[in-house]
Structure 1
């Protein structure tokens, strides 16, 4: 994870490749979001989804997995997060989809009292057809080198 001091407003990144499997969609839904359109073909067919769809919370988890993978395991700068703003699930994610992410830094705010800063960035997740499926604005906490 980059350090706060390494970032600039407007900075963009593109990363990730996540293949969504049926088994993973069913397992996540069974444990965390057991609604019929996430847990069975029949349940999904009876809704506007038309076919099995991943939970939106699962989509968030897949985005997080891509973020961590993009950092190459180097999370030294990360101090967690203070939350998420403007979460939107725009299109369903289905088994067989291949997802990727793009980010743009919106705001950098150094802490006045701690050796850290707050980073707000827009994360956009796309499927294999370049359709925007989800957006949100994480509020990340990152270490500062000059703290």
Structure 2
């Protein structure tokens, strides 16, 4: 995958990641380690909640999104370096969901004080195999300019 620098990016560019299939055990393992709430750990208990069944932690969806973007979605030189953002989870992530990420560059702003970098705004939507949007991440990323040769 070609590594992209600030000067290679422009609003409207899109990127699509590979996919990741999520199963019940992954959901429960993440929940046990990081978000031990009944609706992430126990399908029976989850039926009586807002989710109506076992759902992955939003933070689990965010972690999978990050991995997909790093490995196959956003080919940014020097890595994906966050400077802030906003996250929304409009629908729950469920066992059996096959996730992929569709990202779009919405803004590119070169830095005036640091000429070797800038801030790029990316909107990444994490979708399942049915096209349901499970997460919307609007991230401000530090992206470097191509080094002078």
- Normalising to structure 2: TM-score of the pair? 0.89
Q: CA deviation at 1:34?
A: 0.9
Distance 1:71 1:128 in 2: 17
Computed over aligned residues only, the root mean square deviation of the Cα atoms, in angstroms, reads 1.8
| Distance in 1 between residues matched to 2:105 and 2:76, nearest whole Å | 18
Corresponding residue for residue 54 of structure 1: 56
DSSP-derived class of the 1:30 partner: helix
Deviation at residue 97 of structure 1 after TM alignment:
0.5
Gaps of 5+ in 2: none
- CA shift, 1:146, in A, is 5.7
Matched residue, 1:107? 107
Residue in 2 aligned with 1:63? 65
1:116 corresponding residue in structure 2 = 117
The number of equivalent residue pairs is 145
Partners of 1:71 and 1:98 in 2: how far apart?
A: 15
Is the counterpart of residue 91 in structure 1 residue 82 in structure 2? no
Contact 1:79-1:143 at 8 Å conserved across structures: no
Give a deviation string over 1:55-97, Cα, whole Å, max 9, x none: 001100010010011169x764336111112x11011101110
Structure 1 unpaired stretches of 5+: none
1:100-129 Cα offsets, whole Å, 9 max, x none, are 111111111111122111010111111111
